[in-house]
Homo-oligomer: A and B are copies of this chain.
Amino acid sequence: MPHASAPRPAKRPTLADVARASGVSVALASIVLREAEGASGESRARVKQAAADLGYRPDSRARSLRSSRSRTLGLALALGEPLHAELADALYAQADQSGFEIILGATGRHRDERRVLNTLIDAGVEAVIGVFPELPAAQLVQVSKQLPVISLLRKVKGIPSVITDEAAGVEQVVSHLVQRGHTRLLHLDGGSAVSAKQRRDAFIESAARASASASGQILPAGPDEATAFAVLREYLEKMPQAERATAVLAFNDRAALGARQAIDLAGLQVPEQICLAGYDDSEFARLAHADLTSVRQDVAALAQAAMQAALNSPGASSTHAPQLVVRGSTGQRRA
């Protein structure tokens, strides 16, 4: 059955319509609506009134085509990550303040990060802020010749990078655990996820530095529940109790949640028999059952720095201090 032809959408009002309705030139209408200088109070009122009456909204494609000012920012991130969601929230707040709009691109498991980047650029954004775990630095640098590109959560040489001091975060957890008497520490790493390498390296160093008697072991896992669960489950089954780690540091809170399932399954008590720490202090960490000690990244500061870097000419890199949030999963008795 042939489709009825589309009910041709009501054409949206253009600047010319507004100008005509208010009896001024297109140029003047543009001046008024841009809040630029050079229009009398009377014209201002008339044009604004007409614009409001017609429900005029400027066409950002035409605007950005002509002026390369779309007042729009591109944000690339992964959809399932709680931390990314928090960052997006904070960035939206920042953008509001600067009068910018934000559009998003989702980098996914098998979605080409380069393509996401291109899509955003094609849509006319003035700058891109993004978490690009795998995109080669060279490509990011290349693109950054066209417009500002800010790397979030990952240090990329050659472009402004806004990151958290991973070494400091891991150090805080490790020394917290060592202080509580733990000597055998285990880290479930994040595989190829962003900052996984930094945390892995920092874990080794911190463990070595913290105490002569402390030892750190690393288990290759991933940034989500599933692999952390599987990996830790196997570890707990195989490892004799005497040699078993007494504290586990997961790559992030999601992984910690998976780890917790494995621990529960093994019949171990948290924190009495084994301690567990996460990373990112996402909403998961605050769940009552998890009650997870975690490392809080300073989302607000990260967002603000990223926005600043995106808006200022040669954006500045910055590193932000994380903060350990101690909860029940590492030894405090729960209420």
How many whole Å from A307's CB to the nearest CB in chain B? 9
**In the complex, are the beta carbons of A123 and B60 less than 8 A apart?**
yes
**In the complex, are the beta carbons of B9 and A146 less than 8 A apart?**
yes
Q: Which residues of B contact A225 (CB under 8 A)?
A: 283, 287
**A105/B103 contact (C-beta < 8 A), A147-B6, A288-B229, A314-B6 known:** yes
Q: Which residues of B contact A146 (CB under 8 A)?
A: 9-10, 12
Q: Which residues of B contact A62 (CB under 8 A)?
A: 61, 65
**A122/B101 contact (C-beta < 8 A), A61-B61, A225-B287, A289-B261 known:** yes
How many whole Å from A325's CB to the nearest CB in chain B? 17
Of the listed stretches A25-33, A78-86, A172-180, chain B binds A78-86
**A119/B101 contact (C-beta < 8 A), A3-B312, A287-B258 known:** yes
Task: Please pick, from B7, B85, B109, B262, the residue contacting A314 in the complex, using a CB distance under 8 A.
Answer: B7
Against B, the Cβ 8 Å flags (1 = close, 0 = not) of A216-235 are 00000000111001000000
A80 CA to B86 CA in the complex, in Å?
Answer: 9
Against B, the Cβ 8 Å flags (1 = close, 0 = not) of A78-114 are 0110101100110010000111011111101101000
A287 CA to B80 CA in the complex, in Å?
Answer: 15
Task: Please pick, from B65, B80, B124, B147, the residue contacting A85 in the complex, using a CB distance under 8 A.
Answer: B80
**A288/B311 contact (C-beta < 8 A), A62-B65, A122-B60 known:** no
Query: In the complex, what residue of chain B is closest to A265 when comparing beta carbons?
Result: B288
How many whole Å from A148's CB to the nearest CB in chain B? 6
Given contacts A3-B312, A103-B103, A226-B286, list 8 more A-B pairs with CB under 8 A. A3-B313, A6-B147, A6-B314, A7-B314, A72-B122, A89-B108, A103-B105, A123-B123
Chain A positions within 8 Å of B, measured between CB atoms, are 1, 3-7, 9-10, 12, 57-62, 64-65, 72, 79-80, 82, 84-85, 88-89, 92, 97-99, 101-106, 108-109, 111, 118-120, 122-124, 145-148, 224-226, 229, 257-258, 260-262, 264-265, 283, 286-290, 311-314
User: Can you list 30 A-B pairs with a CB-CB distance of less than 8 A?
Assistant: A1-B99, A3-B312, A4-B313, A6-B147, A7-B145, A10-B145, A57-B122, A59-B122, A61-B61, A61-B62, A61-B124, A62-B65, A65-B65, A79-B84, A80-B283, A89-B108, A89-B109, A92-B108, A102-B119, A103-B105, A104-B104, A104-B105, A104-B106, A123-B124, A224-B283, A225-B283, A258-B287, A260-B289, A264-B289, A265-B288
